[in-house]
């Protein structure tokens, strides 16, 4: 069944700027570690030092860095400033990216007040909400604007990244509007699966999921044999009396 491909089966897709996704997800961590070292006045660091600071093992770190090029010096280590710049360039945060936040409720307010974006390559250009009671509110040095202005803002400021902090209900609709306006990367905090066309990247942050993963392991720790026993094969329809369980979809 093996179709005759040119690429050897075992060979990694390495070249042509193809950095493995798992590595991409760690580069920002390395970047932060390098910035911390730099701020401490450390000019050179070995892969072991860096790995400790980033919380990974050193072989993995070296392999990750090797995808970017050969930026270390054998017997010495890595020049902190130089490597920091190379990683920043690879990620694309040597320039600032314009970001819009949609849904200025609890979470949107927290993000709007957060000062950590500017120093990490992002610039919030607009806070948008559909609630007339919120529009016009001042948050830091920004003002909440009408979601209807979205297209205009995206075009004017070349916005390519959107953050969704609306309730789950309107999230897909908001997402569609963002995509239609030209946004091609979305960070979603609403607890729904959003669908987007090819070419649009989406990442989600879901606090409840994180807690549930912790709960799973926690249960494993405490009650190793304390799992409640439950009927394995009930009648297929009509199961009265099952306890109400977590996992809701409300906003």
Ligand X SMILES: NC(=O)c1ccc[n+]([C@@H]2O[C@H](COP(=O)([O-])OP(=O)(O)OC[C@H]3O[C@@H](n4cnc5c(N)ncnc54)[C@H](O)[C@@H]3O)[C@@H](O)[C@H]2O)c1
Binding residues (CB under 7 A) for DNA: these are 1-2, 9, 12-13, 20-23, 46-48, 56-60, 62-63, 65-66, 70-78, 236
Q: Write the Ramachandran bin of 69: left for phi over 0, alpha for psi from -120 to 50, otherwise beta.
A: left
Task: Tell me which of a copy of itself, DNA, ligand X, none is bound by residue 152, counting a contact when its beta carbon lies within the kind-specific cut-off of 5 to 8 angstroms.
Answer: none
Q: What is the CA radius of gyration of the chain?
A: 23
Let me know how long the chain is.
Answer: 251
Out of 20, 122, 149, 157, the residue judged to bind a copy of itself by CB under 8 A: 122
Residue (148 or 211) nearer to a copy of itself, CB: 211
Q: 58 touches which of a copy of itself, DNA, ligand X, none (CB within 5 to 8 A by kind)?
A: DNA
User: Checking phi first, is residue 103 left (phi over 0); if not, alpha (psi -120 to 50) or beta?
Assistant: left
- Can you list the alpha helix ranges (DSSP code H) found in the chain? 21-39, 47-54, 58-66, 80-91, 106-113, 150-157, 168-181, 207-222
45 vs 186 by CB, closer to DNA: 45
Among 9, 41, 132, 250, binds a copy of itself (CB under 8 A): 250
Give yes or no for residue 239 binding a copy of itself (CB under 8 A): yes
What DSSP designation does 243 have?
A: P
Q: Is residue 131 involved in binding ligand X (CB under 6 A)?
A: yes
11 or 245: CB nearest a copy of itself: 245
Q: What angle do CA 132, 179, 188 make, to 5 degrees?
A: 70
1 binds, among a copy of itself, ligand X, DNA, none (CB under 5 to 8 A by kind): DNA
Residue 82 interacts with a copy of itself (CB under 8 A): yes or no? yes
Regarding 170 and contact with ligand X (CB under 6 A), the answer is yes
**Are residues 127 and 101 in contact, defined by beta-carbon separation less than 8 angstroms?**
yes
Of the residues 88, 100, 135, 175, which one makes contact with a copy of itself according to CB under 8 A: 88
Burial class of residue 249, CB neighbours in 10 A (0-12, 13-18, 19+): exposed
Q: State the nearest-atom distance from the C-beta of 8 to a copy of itself, in Å.
A: 23
């Amino acid at each position: 069944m093996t179709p005759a491909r040119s690429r050897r089966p075992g060979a990694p897709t390495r070249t042509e700027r193809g950095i493995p996704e798992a590595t991409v997800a760690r580069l920002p961590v390395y970047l932060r570690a390098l910035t911390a070292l730099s701020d401490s006045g450390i000019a050179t660091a070995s892969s072991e030092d860096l790995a400790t600071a980033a919380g990974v093992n050193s072989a993995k770190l070296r392999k990750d860095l090797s995808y970017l090029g050969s930026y270390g010096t054998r017997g010495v280590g890595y020049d902190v400033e130089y490597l920091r710049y190379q990683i920043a360039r690879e990620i694309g945060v040597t320039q600032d990216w314009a970001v819009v936040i949609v849904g200025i409720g609890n979470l949107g307010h927290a993000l709007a007040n957060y000062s950590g974006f500017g120093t990490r390559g992002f610039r919030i250009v607009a806070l948008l909400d559909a609630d007339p009671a919120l529009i016009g509110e001042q948050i830091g040095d920004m003002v909440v604007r009408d979601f209807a202005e979205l297209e205009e803002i995206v075009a004017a400021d070349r916005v390519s990244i959107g953050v969704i902090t609306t309730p789950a209900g309107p999230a897909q609709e908001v997402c569609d509007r963002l995509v239609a306006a030209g946004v091609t990367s979305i960070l979603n905090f609403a607890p729904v699966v959003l669908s987007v066309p090819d070419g649009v990247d989406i990442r989600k942050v879901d606090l409840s999921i994180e807690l549930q993963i912790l709960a799973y392991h926690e249960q494993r720790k405490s009650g190793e044999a304390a799992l409640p026993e439950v009927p394995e094969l009930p009648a297929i329809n009509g199961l009265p009396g099952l306890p109400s369980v977590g996992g809701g979809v409300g906003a």
